[in-house]
Amino acid sequence: MNVILLGPPGAGKGTQAQRLRENYGLMHLSTGDMLRHEIDKQTDLGLSIKEVMSKGGLVDDETVIGMIATVLEGPEARVGIILDGFPRTERQAIALDLMLKKRKVAIDHVIEIKVDDEALVKRISGRYMCKAKNCGASYNDFFKKPAVDGVCDVCGGSEFMRRPDDTEEAVRTRLKKYYHETMPIVPYYLEKGLLREVNGMLGIDKVTEQINALIEG
């Protein structure tokens, strides 16, 4: 079984991919991770990828298709794969179909984890944590404030911290980038009747249930 997972950063795609791996024995292929791994190895390819990514650009089709092809030839991909971050263009989607066809398989499901953008912005830009070493309790400006303002419910600490890239502006930029990158492949999979949606605003377990129902249904 081969699955493409779509969803913006913050929708819990990583967690769901991990569960698909555990539940169905699928191999998780995140092109983001694969590209970073190539950069870490400091190969010639890695260096050229680094240059493109540092300018905020997208790595060219050949490079990404080549990386995926190498993995597909290996034994680990035999049971099936979860693709995350690939394909991003119709050309990549067509190349993927050809690679799978050689192995006599195909994409079975394209699952989009749908989110409510405004709620996601609040969920991420509102989150902060207790700074105390052994606590780390999490809070949110919109959904979960401490009972006493400025005092941690769990440890009584009064220092909190936020991740630097959790600002509203940064979240909106990440969302915009996601929609921009995903748009080109939506018509391709819609036409094939493979694209399905799950509601990503429910709890993690509920999202998993919806995904499992789609796969097994």
DSSP codes joined into one string, 165-204: T-SHHHHHHHHHHHHHHHGGGHHHHHHTT-EEEEETTS-H
Is 103 considered catalytic here?
no
Least Å from the CB of residue 161 to Zn ion? 11
Radius of gyration of the chain (CA): 20
Residue 45 burial (CB count, 10 A): 16
Is it true that the peptide bond before 9 is cis, omega within 30 degrees of 0? Answer: no
Least Å from the CB of residue 148 to Zn ion? 12
Least Å from the CB of residue 138 to Zn ion? 10
Is 127 considered catalytic here?
yes
Rule CB under 5 A: is residue 128 a binding residue for Zn ion?
no
Choose one: 19-27, 60-68, 157-165, 200-208; the region binding Zn ion (CB under 5 A). 157-165
Please tell me which residue in 103, 163, 176, 177 is annotated as part of the active site: 163
The residue among 29 and 130 lying less far from Zn ion, judged by its C-beta, is 130
Please answer whether residues 128 and 138 qualify as being in contact, where contact means their C-beta atoms are separated by less than 8 angstroms.
Answer: yes
Least Å from the CB of residue 160 to Zn ion? 8
Rule CB under 5 A: is residue 72 a binding residue for Zn ion?
no
Rule CB under 5 A: is residue 130 a binding residue for Zn ion?
yes
Rule CB under 5 A: is residue 157 a binding residue for Zn ion?
yes
75, amino acid identity? P
The residue among 66 and 150 lying less far from Zn ion, judged by its C-beta, is 150
Rule CB under 5 A: is residue 135 a binding residue for Zn ion?
yes
Is 123 considered catalytic here?
no
6, amino acid identity? L
Pair of tokens at residue 103: 């192995």
CA angle centred on 29, ends 28 and 33, rounded to 5°:
115
Rule CB under 5 A: is residue 129 a binding residue for Zn ion?
no
Please answer whether residues 120 and 8 qualify as being in contact, where contact means their C-beta atoms are separated by less than 8 angstroms.
Answer: yes
Choose one: 69-77, 145-153, 178-186, 189-197; the region binding Zn ion (CB under 5 A). 145-153
User: What are the C-alpha distances in Å from 99 to residues 26, 38, 160, 172?
Assistant: 17, 21, 49, 35
Least Å from the CB of residue 165 to Zn ion? 22
List the catalytic residues. 13, 88, 127, 163, 174
Binding site for Zn ion (CB under 5 A): 130, 132, 135, 137, 152, 154-155, 157
